Amino acid sequence: MPSFQQQLDQAFQVEEIRQSFRGEVVKVHDGDTITIKHPDIDKPFPVRLAKINAPELSHGGKETGDWLRDIILGEEVEIIIDINNLRGKYGRLLGEVVHIGINLGDAMVRLGLAVQYGDKGYFIDIDSDLNDKLYKNLEGTNF
């Protein structure tokens, strides 16, 4: 178990992130929160996808989280940091998540899996075969 000093050092390392970085996704909590392993920080930490809101687990969020998990769990992604919007209301680091050139937040909004942050939109049901086709069609798309 890490010492108190090690835990404190870890918190300060995450707190000091001010620029975009690449890291491995080690956990997908739901449709808008992941845990990432930064190459220069010992312990993985949560990142909240910026600019989107996915349904809560009790309101269809499990399916949205499963969609995201299938795509990025164990994969390297780029976290795009906006210096003017670093932390969410619960203190998590905010970042746009890009995988194989696709901004996943934008893709999720286009697919109806999420809404832009602050919007009260509707989410669609997820059909896995349709989802696979849609994601393949998004590769290389500029949003």
Q: Model pTM? A: 0.77
The answer to the question of residue 111 being in a domain is yes
The answer to the question of residue 143 being in a domain is no
Is residue 2 pLDDT above 90, yes or no?
no
6 or 85: which leads in pLDDT: 85
β-pair type (115-116, 102-103) = unpaired
How many domains does the chain contain in total?
1
Is residue 122 pLDDT above 70, yes or no?
no
The answer to the question of residue 51 being in a domain is yes
Nearest to 54 by CA among 36, 45, 37, 66: 66
Give residue 127's pLDDT: 47
Give residue 58's pLDDT: 80
Residue 93 domain boundaries: 4-138
Q: Is the separation of the CB atoms in 113 and 31 below 8 Å? A: yes
> Domain containing 32 — which CATH number?
2.40.50.90
Q: How far apart are CA 120 and CA 15, in angstroms?
A: 31
Report pLDDT digits (tens) over 59-101.
Answer: 777 888 999 999 999 999 999 999 998 888 888 899 999 999 9
The answer to the question of residue 110 being in a domain is yes
28 or 122: which leads in pLDDT: 28
Is residue 103 pLDDT above 90, yes or no?
yes
| Mean pLDDT calculated for residue range 45-50 | 94
Q: What are phi and psi of 104, to 5 degrees?
A: -70, -30
The answer to the question of residue 42 being in a domain is yes
Give residue 125's pLDDT: 47
What are the residues whose beta carbons fall under 8 Å from the beta carbon of 88, sequence distance 6 or more? 48, 94
Give residue 37's pLDDT: 96
Share of the chain above pLDDT 90, in %: 46
